[in-house]
């Protein structure tokens, strides 16, 4: 933990109170984000990565959800204890977010220019005309041709890649310190995905913001993040810098994920069976005792069933939640 981190998340717990029981969607998550860096959060569907993101902006629908405890220290303020009014000032200005589905996250009945300038007017206190001019600049910045015309377009007139560019323009219009990108390219084709990822990293360098990149795609994280956290059933199971996570993964889940991925650069074509992680992700309504991953783990020991492992710093800057690593067993 460096002293100058931009955002510190400590002991974050977000639960959902459903008819079937309590779902501990995010359970004791700790991390920090330094200025200008990219933190990748990876995991499979339902692991809590999006809920973590929404919790940071306090956008959890309540009920059924609730941020039960924790601290979100942003610029010496705890976001969780701020009044909603102050929170609204922070959203979109200091911390903004782009979502997976650019069609549903834009309002279909307003032009994109109107939608982008609305945020600018609100946060920067400028007039409508100035805000619209800024919107044109933003569209130009995200690489949309003839932005002066495009601001009068409605979302349905744009393609998926263009819509995501509009979302990015909107998110960056007030020069935020943090951009949370939740599966920003999942709905897009690979060639467009490459364009959007390049755009985000170019803009990041230009304006110096930090990015939290949330995705299920390990390839995207490997090529875009500086540090990576792997989530499994609401918890961080491993966190490290990108080189060390991909070069020497310690958690059996991370190892399994990486081995199960076909990679056309590493292997020759048409080769042996892929390694599998057996079973399926457990239910958060009825999680296993001990380590949440043990039912699928190939190295299970007695202690794994009985007690939940803590996050343990195996090497400098490389944390892992596994009893075996903690006890020095190598596998």
Partner 1 sequence: MSEVLLKVEGLKKYFPVPGKIFSSQKENVRAVDGVSFEIQKGETLSLVGESGCGKTTAGKTILRLIEPTSGNVWLRNVNLATIKEKELRRMRKEMQIVFQDPYSSLNPRMTVDRIIGEALSIHGLAGKKDREEKVVEVLEMVGLGAEHLYRYPHEFSGGQRQRIGIARALAVNPELIVADEPISSLDVSIQAQIINLLEDLQKRLKLTYLFISHDLNVVAHISDHVAVMYLGRIVEMAPAQLLYQDPRHPYTQALLSSVPVADPTLKRQEIILEGEVPSPINPPPGCHFHPRCSYRKADCSNLEPPLREVSPGHYATCFL
Contact region with partner 1 (CB under 8 A), list: 62-70, 108-116, 167-175, 256-264: 256-264
* Stretch binding partner 1 (CB under 8 A), from 10-18, 110-118, 260-268, 314-322: 260-268
Q: What is the number of alpha carbons within 13 Å of residue 169 lying toward its C-beta?
A: 31
Instruction: Determine, following the binding rule CB under 8 A, whether residue 317 of this chain makes contact with partner 1.
Output: no
Q: Which of 96, 117, 177, 193 binds partner 1 (CB under 8 A)?
A: 193
Cα gap 35→93, rounded to integer Å: 16
Alpha-carbon span 85 to 75, nearest angstrom? 17
Site string for partner 1, 270-289 (x = CB under 8 A): xx-xxxxxx-xx--------
Strand, coil or helix: 118: helix
Asked if 261 touches partner 1 (CB under 8 A), the answer is yes
- Complex with partner 1: residue 85 or 272, whichever CB lies closer: 272
Residues near partner 1 (CB under 8 A), total: 49
Number of C-beta neighbours around residue 314 at 10 A: 19
Residue with smaller CB distance to partner 1, 267 or 327:
267
Instruction: Show the tokens assigned to 293.
Output: 């991953």
What does the block give as tokens for 104?
């549903």
Gyration radius (Cα) of the chain, Å: 21
Nearer to partner 1, 134 or 227 (CB): 227
Q: What 8-state DSSP symbol labels residue 153?
A: -
Q: Choose among 265, 258, 266, 222: nearest CA to 240.
A: 222
* Contact pattern from residue 141 through residue 160 relative to partner 1, giving x for each residue in contact according to CB under 8 A and a dash for the rest: ------------------x-
Smallest gap from residue 244 Cβ to partner 1 (A): 10
Q: How many CB atoms lie within 10 A of CB 104?
A: 12
What angle, 0 to 180 degrees and rounded to 10, lies between the N-to-C axes of helices 128-141 and 112-124? 120
Q: How far is the CB of 166 from partner 1 (least distance, A)?
A: 14
Nearer to partner 1, 70 or 256 (CB): 256
Interaction of residue 265 with partner 1, rule CB under 8 A:
yes
- Of 95, 89, 88, 80, whose CA–CA distance to 33 is shortest? 95
Confirm or reject binding of residue 3 to partner 1 (CB under 8 A): no
Q: Which residues of this protein are in contact with partner 1, per CB under 8 A? A: 44-45, 159, 161-162, 189-195, 198, 216-223, 242-243, 246-247, 256-258, 260-271, 273-278, 280-281, 296
């Amino acid at each position: 933990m460096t002293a100058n981190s931009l955002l510190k998340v400590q002991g974050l717990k977000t639960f959902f109170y459903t008819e079937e029981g309590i779902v501990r969607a995010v359970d004791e998550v700790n991390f920090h984000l330094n200025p200008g860096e990219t933190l990748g959060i990876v995991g499979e569907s339902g692991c809590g990565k999006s809920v973590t993101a929404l919790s940071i902006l306090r956008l959890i629908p309540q009920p059924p959800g609730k941020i039960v405890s924790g601290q979100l220290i942003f610029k010496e303020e705890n976001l969780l204890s701020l009044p909603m009014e102050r929170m609204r000032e922070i959203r979109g200005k200091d911390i903004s977010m782009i979502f997976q589905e650019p069609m549903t996250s834009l309002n279909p009945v307003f032009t994109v220019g109107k939608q982008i300038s609305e945020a600018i007017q609100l946060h920067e206190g400028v007039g409508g005309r100035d805000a619209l001019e800024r919107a044109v600049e933003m569209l130009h910045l995200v690489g949309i041709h003839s932005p002066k015309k495009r601001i009068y377009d409605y979302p349905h007139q744009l393609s998926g890649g263009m819509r995501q560019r509009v979302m990015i323009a909107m998110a960056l219009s007030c020069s935020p310190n943090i951009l949370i990108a939740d599966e920003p390219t999942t709905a897009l084709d690979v060639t467009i995905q490459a364009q959007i990822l390049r755009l985000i990293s170019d803009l990041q360098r230009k304006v110096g913001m930090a990015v939290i990149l949330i995705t299920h795609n390990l390839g995207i994280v490997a090529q875009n993040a500086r540090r990576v956290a792997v989530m499994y059933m609401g918890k961080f199971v491993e966190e490290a810098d990108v080189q060390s996570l991909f070069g020497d993964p310690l958690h059996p889940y991370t190892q399994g994920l990486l081995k199960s991925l076909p990679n056309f650069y590493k292997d020759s074509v048409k080769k042996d069976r892929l390694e599998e992680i057996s079973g399926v992700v457990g239910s958060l309504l009825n999680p296993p005792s001990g380590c949440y991953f043990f039912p699928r783990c190939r190295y299970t020991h007695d202690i794994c069933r009985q007690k939940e492992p803590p996050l343990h710093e195996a090497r400098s800057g490389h944390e892992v939640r596994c009893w075996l690593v903690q006890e020095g067993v190598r596998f």
